Structures are given as C-alpha cells and as structure tokens.
Structure 1
Amino acid sequence: MHRPLLLACLFLANAPALAADLVVNVANIRSADGTIGCALHSADRGGFPGDAAGAVLRSAPANPAGVRCRFDGIAPGTYAVAVSHDANNNGRIDTNFFGIPTEDWGVSNNIRPGMRAPRFDEAAIQVTEGPPRTIEVRLGR
C-alpha cells in the first residue's frame, strides 16, 4: 500500500543534487604583494560584503596578470562576490579612521557606490546548473 511512496523516496534519495560552478576572474591587481581573497555570499547567510563568516572563501597569491577564484559544486541560486587584495598579508582589509578600505577591493557587477558599502541586491548574480558562470571583478579603492 505504501510501495509507490517508498519507491519515490528511494528515487529521490539517489537523484544527483543540483550543482553549479562559478569562476571569478579578478582584474586590475596593482601588485604581486600579498593575497587576493574571494568571498562567495548567499542571500540567506548575510554578511555581504565585509563579514566573511558565512561565505565560501577562496584565496590565491596576488598577480598583476590576474587571479582566478573558482567555486565548484555550489547550489544554484543568487549570490554576490566580494574580492579584496590583502597586500600586506595581515589577514584583514585595512581601513582608515573612517572605516574606508585602504586596500583594493571589488564586488560582483563591479558596483562602486559613493559613500557606502555595496548592497547585496546591487552585486547579486544568478548561478545556474550547467556550464560554469564566469564573471570579472575589477579591483580599486
């Protein structure tokens, strides 16, 4: 009597989970000093752009020719990417007295608002199953 339900559950349990890939090409890197850090934020985790606690992180040595951060096997959905150049390798984004970054940074969609941090909705991108989604993030101050 419950056999169709059992078969449906077994089928769903063995079905592959949807997965997507995102490639972030980081451009406009001023020097080979330090590290480039990429943080992939989802809408439900919050913290964009400055709090990486709930983000998926990637890093690579800085290279003026460009750096690639790759996020494989993520759930399809809406994300925003924050990228920073930790030029002095102290593990954080240095800021001035007013809290404005003194090291280069960038976000998806290359949003650079005037006197505030970018919002998630401004930097949001869609990542879907299929070929990897590729974006470019340009660094600046």
Structure 2
Amino acid sequence: MRINTGVFAVVAAIIALPTFAHELTLNVINIKSVKGNLLVAVYDKEEHYTANSNWVAAKQVKVSGTTILLDFADLPAGNYAIKLFQDENENNQIDIGVNGIPTELYGFSNNGGSYGPPSFDEAKVVVDKATEIEIHLR
C-alpha cells in the first residue's frame, strides 16, 4: 500500500499544531442596580483601545444581578485590555454628567480608572492560558 507523502505531511502538521485558543472569564462585581445592559469590549492593541474601535470581542448582556460572569472563548494568546459600562437607560452609550464624569457605572481590566481611563499598558491582561479576572464597577 502506497501512502501519499503530501497528504501525510499535512495531517502530521495539523496534529502537531499547539492549541492557541484560550478562555478569558470576567467576574464583574459591584453592580449597584439590576437594570439595563452591561456592554463589554476586549481590545488587543493600544490604538484600538484608545480609539474605542476594532475590538476583538464584545458582548452586551442584560444585567440580572449584582455580579455577572462573562466568558470570552477562543482568544489567541496575547495581551488584552477590557472596557465596560452598565448602560442603565439602554441608549448604547455611557452617559456623562456636566462635569465630564460618567453618570453610569464603568470598569476596566486591572481595575484602574479612578482618575480617568487607564492606559492600555495599565489595563492589559496576559492571556496565555485560561484566565479569570475580576472587574469592579465604579
């Protein structure tokens, strides 16, 4: 019996590939009111994070309790920064008061943002295995 070496090489290469997909789980806590939606964006590049564009994953979930667990599966290994906010009035944007401070709760990976949004480097999380992080809404 003759084996096609080209087919064998392709099959061997596929079998030898390591798994590159990882799961990122967010445990969002400190939700003060059970209303509206939680809007979450995951970024893999500083310029996208800063511009609020080209996220690699995003979710919108109904707020159903004071904590929410969110899973983002199949992320390639890398650095990610997360932004999220609770859209209580469901207008799909974070509402800002006259003083420029958000009137809806928000959060970032690594829980920065006390005095403005943290930089991508301050918010980045290394995902090279199944990873779970906690984000506090403020």
Same fold (TM > 0.5)? yes
Further displaced range: 69-78 or 92-101: 92-101
Distance of 1:74 and 1:13 partners within structure 2: 19
State the structure with more CA Rg: 2
Q: Secondary structure at the match of 2:49?
A: coil
Distance of 1:16 and 1:99 partners within structure 2: 47
**Higher normalized helix content (fraction of residues):** 2
1:38 has 2:36 as partner? no
Output the aligned Cα RMSD.
2.4
User: Cα deviation per residue 1:62-87 (whole Å; 9 max; x = unaligned)?
Assistant: 13431111100110110011111001
Tell me the percent identity.
28
1:123 has 2:128 as partner? no
Mark the CA change 1:82 to 1:50 in structure 2 (over 3 Å): closer, same or farther: farther
Matched pairs, number:
132
Structure 1: state its 5+ residue gaps. Answer: none
Mark the CA change 1:36 to 1:136 in structure 2 (over 3 Å): closer, same or farther: same
The answer to whether the 8 Å contact 1:109/1:123 transfers is: yes
Q: Secondary structure at the match of 1:91?
A: coil
User: Cα deviation per residue 1:28-71 (whole Å; 9 max; x = unaligned)?
Assistant: 00111100112111026x33266144341012211343111110
Structure 2: state its 5+ residue gaps. Answer: none
- Residue 94 of structure 2 is matched in structure 1 by 93
Mark the CA change 1:86 to 1:118 in structure 2 (over 3 Å): closer, same or farther: same
Query: How far 1:98 sits from its partner (Å)?
Result: 5.2
Query: How far 1:95 sits from its partner (Å)?
Result: 1.4
Q: TM-score under structure 1 normalisation?
A: 0.80
Give runs of aligned pairs for residues 29-68 of structure 1, distance below 5 A: 29-43=31-45, 46-48=47-49, 51-68=52-69
Q: TM-score under structure 2 normalisation?
A: 0.81
Residue among 108, 119, 134 paired with 1:136:
134
